[in-house]
Amino acid sequence: MSASDPRDELVEHLPAMRAFAISLTRNGSVADDMVQDTLVKAWTNIEKFQVGTNMRAWLFTILRNTYYSSRRKAKREVADVDGIFTESLAEKPAHDGHLQMNDFRVALGKLKVEQREALLLVGASGFSYEEAADMCGVAVGTIKSRVNRARTQLAELMGLNEDEAMEMTDDATMSVLSASKVASF
């Protein structure tokens, strides 16, 4: 590896990749596996990365494609007939300080995958509409529409309107909802 080897940049993007993977899978261990698979794919195909372009966007595209590939594979697999997997799931109790954040996660999970993905890329991960459109392989207008619809639906699911303020715990959550014409936080 040379001093300007793009592989040196991979580690910088791990936290953002993990956050995006968790938002897609809603499961920390599955997200970690997806990030690991993404890194292996990126490492072995680093010659396909164009130096000078956006490494983060390239990694997110690989991660997104890995996610959709795993979903297609899961559809072909046999269901959990014995309920072993279902029994392993547990829901943490919602405590006072985490109630709104839990409501937010639940509402976010109810969005269509395409809308949630667009909203998280633009709102939480800070990608431009153009970068998000490129990663998703759709037109910029499509991304803008998905983000707007996602924000509107999220506000509806959470029962928010212009008169109400909602206390959010982090900047990423606030940025997901910030451009909503429905609520001002």
- Reported as a single tens digit per residue, the pLDDT across 44-72 is 999 999 888 999 999 999 999 999 998 88
Helix (H, G, I), strand (E, B) or coil at 28: helix
pTM over the 0.85 mark: no
Amino acid identity, position 109: G
Cβ atoms < 10 Å from Cβ of 157: 16
Residue 159's Cα: distance from chain center in Å? 23
Listed in sequence order, the residues at least 6 apart from 8 whose beta carbon sits closer than 8 Å to its beta carbon are: 1
- Tokens representing 6? 């793009």
pLDDT at 185: 34
- Tokens representing 97? 């300080």
pLDDT at 160: 73
| Ramachandran class of 80: left when φ > 0, alpha when ψ lies in -120 to 50, beta otherwise | beta
List domains and CATH numbers for the chain.
Answer: 1-88 (1.10.1740.10), 90-180 (1.10.10.10)
- Reported as a single tens digit per residue, the pLDDT across 136-183 is 999 999 999 999 999 999 888 887 765 555 555 445 555 555 554 333
